[in-house]
Amino acid sequence: MNKEQIIKKLEYGSTKNPNNRAPYAKKVIVISSGKGGVGKSTVSANLSVALAQKGYKVGLLDADIYGPSIPRLFGIENEKIKWNKNNKIVPHENFGVKVISVGFTTPSEDTPLVWRSSVAISALMQFLEDVDWGELDFLIIDMPPGTGDIQLSMAEELPLFGAILVTTPQALSCDDVSRSVMMFKDVHVNILGIIENMSYFIAPDTKIRYNIFGKNGGKNICKKYNLNFLGQIPLDINIQELSDKGEIPISLGTQSVKNYYKEIVKRVLEET
């Protein structure tokens, strides 16, 4: 696809009157963050599986082009892109969720994608239109961090049901997520709420709680912008160990870990 074709394909959407490149999905929810490293992809994976556990048909699009984490989180990092007889890309599936990621297209896990934004956006449009998703109740999109071209393009090319923002309590993270809040407001995307990840740490031996990254940053952002606070997820080694092994915590974690995500999904569904 040349530059002119890419521009022609993407230029006619707008945030006030977006296209619908995912008519097969009843609701499209983007999960975003102001900065990287706050656990956005882990949250995306667990919320997707939690929705599937409730009987919904769920697809997860890994739109974090330059740092695709979803394949490892689902234990399918060695899978590659496949096409069916109708020349459609077949999404991989694990834990009841259909998954597609640019990570399936690279020859090895450490292959960098040195792409300009126009190429990255074209790839994501292909993942929306040329993947055999089937009928979905929810299409969850794991966004890249920040407020760039991909966020804008998704708001122009999809009638987004809403956005969920992930932050840590740390002031630096909250500063960045504030910019994301204003961006989604500017492009007319409803913000379903904020999740505070890595909220605190409870020492396993003493049971003492430590607020390693600060306290109530996410709650304060919600108060400032009149947003829903969807919940807190602590630093928990069970989450880290399972995620690194491709074993989704909402399915295979301790009951306390499962409850963190279940409560958040309950609040998200109240917004739908």
Supply the pLDDT for residue 117. 85
Supply the pLDDT for residue 3. 44
Q: Which of 158, 154, 152, 214 is nearest to 183 (CA)?
A: 152
Supply the pLDDT for residue 6. 43
- Which residues make beta-bridge pairs with 231? 195
Burial of 198 (0-12, 13-18, 19+ CB in 10 A): buried
User: Per-residue confidence of the chain (272 residues) as pLDDT tens digits?
Assistant: 444 444 445 555 788 889 999 999 999 999 999 999 999 999 999 999 999 999 999 999 999 999 999 999 999 999 999 999 999 999 999 999 999 999 999 888 888 888 888 899 999 999 999 999 999 999 999 999 998 899 999 999 999 999 999 999 999 999 999 999 999 999 999 999 999 999 999 999 999 999 999 999 999 999 999 999 999 999 999 999 999 999 999 999 999 999 999 999 999 999 87
Taking a C-beta distance cutoff of 8 angstroms, is the pair 217, 167 a contact?
A: yes
Q: Where are the alpha helices (DSSP H) in 54-148?
A: 70-73, 117-129
Supply the pLDDT for residue 271. 83
pTM attached to this predicted model: 0.93
Q: Please tell me the distance from the alpha carbon of residue 52 to that of residue 48, in angstroms, as a whole number.
A: 6
The DSSP output letter for 15 is S
Burial of 220 (0-12, 13-18, 19+ CB in 10 A): middle
Supply the pLDDT for residue 5. 46
3-state SS, residue 62: strand
Supply the pLDDT for residue 133. 98
Does domain 23-271 sit in CATH 3.30.70.60? no
